[in-house]
């Protein structure tokens, strides 16, 4: 993955042309049939499966693995999709090493869990490649539901609502549906346009209309939706980006990591994407890792992640941290940005301050140092890009109850924009699915 020359500043084409495809190829090679059968045979098929309890969507993991072991991959896919219609994407991006696989009895006994994520991918890929649909629409109810946001929560909600016979219109602010699955996840996790293939698979049930480039608060309001629909589900994610609160953060070369990832995901030619020779990413979550690793894969010579707390506090999983390190990313802990350094309006470095916990509170120590860099990427979390449009906000997110209902009895919410989530695709799917069931009960009783 050698850097082609040592171009200073921000430049495109840092690598040989054929290197880009290699660098951004599939992170995990899929299992073949024989490999899947061998791996499935490792499962104990536990009666009180701890892996299933660790799955936010409660997929019957022992059952689908048993179905794979008997050669019934399509049956396994049906078992998965019953609980998680985005099971294909979750198999690729879900932190299985922290959820189902960490709970696997094989992990306890041997330190090597059954590769549940790869087995899930094997089964769901089989179904999608054969365009095998397991669900049909119920008799039309005549009810219409608006879904705001075509991300994991919105798509899961829309599909379950369509199953119950309702008509669903999904509004999304982007040119393509998919939400973070399309715009916010590293390319090497979902190559070959998988996010759009999944959208097509989900909407094939019928009864779902997706309207792109329509944004809540800009093109329509919540009261307008409530006038035209029987109920509304809000799943628009978090559109705002937290500020560094550091001098110079708006300089040429300072950018939001989510924008960097989105531009990369939509690029038809990675060799045209400019990247700095030295890149600093501020943050310790999955987005920070995705931005840092992809900067390295684009040809950045030095990439440093800076996080204000310790390794054990990072939101990025240990696997993601190890992945970053394996690609040559340096991770520095206990440092916070103070000032982005510039010359002629362009980034030349960043001044950081060492931090420490004192009486349980994070504080700067007063000791600083400087890292030379051409680019600074902010990945310190996102914020709700709306005032709630009339529903209650709690802790910067839309407040919901255990069924996903907001303070408005005809409005539900789920995913990153709502309380109770874990900023995971799989959790968003669970919230969208469960909200659809709650909406259906409400409409049946109305």
Q: Tokens for 18, please give them.
A: 């054929």
CB 357 within 8 A of CB 348: no
Q: Could you tell me which residues come within 8 angstroms of residue 72 by beta carbon, excluding any fewer than 6 positions away?
A: none
For residue 414, give the DSSP letter.
-
Copy the structure tokens of residue 93: 């991006």
The DSSP-derived string for 256-295 is EHHHHHHHHHH-S-GGG--EESEEEEE--SHHHHHHHHHH
Q: Report domain extents, the chain.
A: 10-25+241-378, 33-129, 144-239+384-445
Which option is the CATH number for 33-129: 1.10.357.20, 2.70.70.10, 3.30.160.110, 1.10.1060.10? 1.10.1060.10
Question: pTM (2 decimals)?
Answer: 0.94
Q: What backbone torsions phi and psi does residue 209 show, to the nearest 5 degrees?
A: -115, 130
Cα 57 from Cα 153, distance rounded (Å): 12
Among the listed residues 240, 242, 290, 286, the one whose alpha carbon sits nearest the alpha carbon of residue 262? 290
- Per CATH, 10-25+241-378 and 144-239+384-445 having the same topology is answered yes
Beta strand spans in 311-394 (E) = 330-332, 335-343, 346-358, 361-372, 375-378, 382-383, 393-394
Question: In this structure, are residues 285 and 307 in contact, taking their beta carbons and an 8 Å threshold?
Answer: no
Can you tell me which residue has the tokens 């987005």? 287
Contact between 141 and 413 (Cβ < 8 Å): no
Tell me which CATH code domain 10-25+241-378 carries: 3.50.50.60
CATH superfamily of 144-239+384-445: FAD/NAD(P)-binding domain (3.50.50.60)
- Label residue 131 left, alpha or beta by phi (over 0 means left) and psi (-120 to 50 means alpha): left
- In tens digits, the chain (446 residues) has pLDDT values of 444 445 678 999 999 999 999 999 999 899 999 999 999 999 999 988 999 999 999 999 999 999 999 999 999 999 999 999 999 999 999 999 989 999 999 998 899 999 999 999 999 999 999 999 999 999 999 999 999 999 999 999 999 999 999 999 999 999 999 999 999 999 999 999 999 999 999 999 999 999 999 999 999 999 999 999 999 999 999 988 888 888 888 899 999 999 999 999 999 999 999 999 999 999 999 999 999 999 999 999 999 999 999 999 999 989 999 999 999 999 999 999 999 999 999 999 999 999 999 998 999 999 999 999 999 999 998 888 877 778 999 989 999 999 999 999 999 999 999 998 778 899 999 999 999 999 999 999 97
Contact 341, 348 (CB under 8 A): yes
């Amino acid at each position: 993955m050698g850097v082609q020359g040592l171009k200073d500043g921000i430049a495109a084409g840092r690598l040989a042309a054929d290197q880009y495809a290699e660098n951004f190829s599939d992170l995990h090679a899929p299992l073949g049939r024989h490999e899947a059968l061998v791996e499935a045979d490792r499962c104990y098929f536990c009666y009180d499966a701890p892996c299933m309890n660790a799955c936010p969507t409660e997929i019957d993991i022992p059952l689908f693995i048993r179905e794979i072991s008997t050669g019934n991959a399509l049956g396994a896919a049906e078992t998965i999709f019953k609980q998680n219609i985005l099971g294909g994407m979750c198999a690729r991006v879900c932190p299985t090493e922290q959820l189902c696989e960490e709970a696997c009895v094989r992990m306890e006994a041997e330190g090597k869990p059954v590769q549940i994520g790869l087995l899930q991918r094997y089964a769901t890929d089989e179904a999608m490649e054969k365009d095998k649909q397991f669900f049909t629409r119920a008799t039309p109810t005549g009810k219409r539901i608006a879904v705001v946001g075509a991300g994991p929560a919105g798509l899961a909600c829309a599909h379950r609502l369509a199953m119950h016979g309702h008509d669903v219109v999904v509004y999304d602010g982007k040119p393509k549906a998919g939400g973070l699955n399309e715009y916010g996840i590293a390319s090497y996790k979902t190559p070959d346009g998988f996010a759009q293939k999944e959208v097509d698979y989900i909407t094939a049930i019928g009864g779902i209309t997706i309207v792109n480039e329509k944004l809540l608060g800009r093109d329509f309001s919540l009261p307008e939706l409530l006038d035209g629909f029987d109920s509304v589900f809000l799943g628009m994610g978090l559109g705002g980006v937290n500020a560094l609160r550091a001098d110079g953060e708006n300089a040429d070369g300072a950018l939001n990591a989510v924008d960097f990832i989105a531009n990369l995901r939509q690029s038809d030619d990675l060799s045209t994407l400019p990247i700095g020779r030295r890149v600093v990413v501020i943050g310790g979550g999955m987005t920070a890792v995705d931005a840092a690793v992809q900067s390295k894969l684009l040809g950045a010579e030095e990439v440093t992640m800076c996080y204000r707390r310790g390794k054990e506090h990072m939101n990025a999983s240990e696997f993601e941290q190890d992945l970053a390190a394996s690609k040559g990313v340096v991770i520095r802990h206990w440092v916070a940005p103070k000032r982005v350094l510039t010359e002629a309006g362009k980034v030349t470095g960043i001044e950081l301050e060492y931090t420490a916990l004192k009486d349980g509170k994070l504080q700067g120590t007063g000791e600083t140092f400087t890292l030379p860099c051409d680019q600074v990427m902010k990945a310190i979390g996102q914020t709700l890009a709306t005032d709630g449009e009339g529903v209650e906000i709690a802790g910067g997110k839309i407040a919901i109850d255990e069924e996903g209902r907001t303070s408005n009895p005809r409005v539900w919410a789920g995913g990153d924009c709502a309380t109770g989530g874990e900023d995971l695709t799989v959790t968003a799917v669970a919230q969208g699915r469960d909200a659809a069931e709650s909406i259906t009960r409400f409409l049946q009783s109305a």
